[in-house]
A and B are shown apart, each in its own frame.
Chain A
Amino acid sequence: MSRADLTKMTKIEVVVTGADAPAVRELFQATGAAGFTSLSGVSGLGHDGYHQGRLLFNDQAALELLITVLPEDRADAVIAGLRPLLDESSGVMFLSDTYVSRPEYFR
């Protein structure tokens, strides 16, 4: 399968604390994302130092990675909402082009 057979879309990945994750999920849904993927308990080294991954008895303090893919024309609204949210927390956002084989799943 070549890339020409695929549909170009925008992928937005956000890493936030479990406490901030509901706001991001709500924003994704309210701005028309058809769905999202969420990975809890992610760990790593960042601007604020090392972040512990999954904690045995605390889902909220750990970081969560939320991923959504949507048509380019809807991405700007999501970004407009995410930027102030991330300005006020330790979260980060990654934006990239991506290609999907079933575009109807993301519209």
Chain B
Amino acid sequence: MTTIDPSSLAFTELPLPDDDPIEVARYFENLTHDGGTSGLGAAISVGTTDLPQLANNLGALVEDPRVRLAEAIVKMGRLEPDWDGNGAPAPDEGAIATALRFLSLVPSTLQVPAVAPATDNGITFEWDLKKLRAVHCIARADRIEVHAFDAEATYASLCLAPLKAAAVATAIVSEWQVSESVTG
């Protein structure tokens, strides 16, 4: 089984700007060369806490696969407690905002993650890849938890600000996707 060198996953050492929304937007535009990102960057750079407005901003980009996810995330904010029948609390507004910000920072060219409310207040993003590899990111009000693992080992388990979390998740998913395409 092909495994990834954990030392290659030290993405937290990337020279990232401070977690300022405008700088984040500029940085990410440069990082991804992704034409769809500029509008998303503009959406988050206004710093709005008005979630419906933010969703509208995101929704204006009809070509972006993240739009459907953004709309779904906003709807998750309307869930009632015990939405899973197992006692889960509803996602809090802070987690929704963090999740939308994180989503806006993930390149639209990356494999689209599955998104669902976490059973403990947050919002979960899941990239399920081949060879039992997975990257799970859980958005909280004040951070993103990043977990990358396969059936045999854990490669990353970090708590990061949205920008760094997006960079780490993007790097791992991208590298594993490349590995899949090489090894088949």
Are chains A and B native binding partners rather than an unrelated pairing?
no
Residues of B within 8 A of A (CB): none
Residues of A within 8 A of B (CB): none
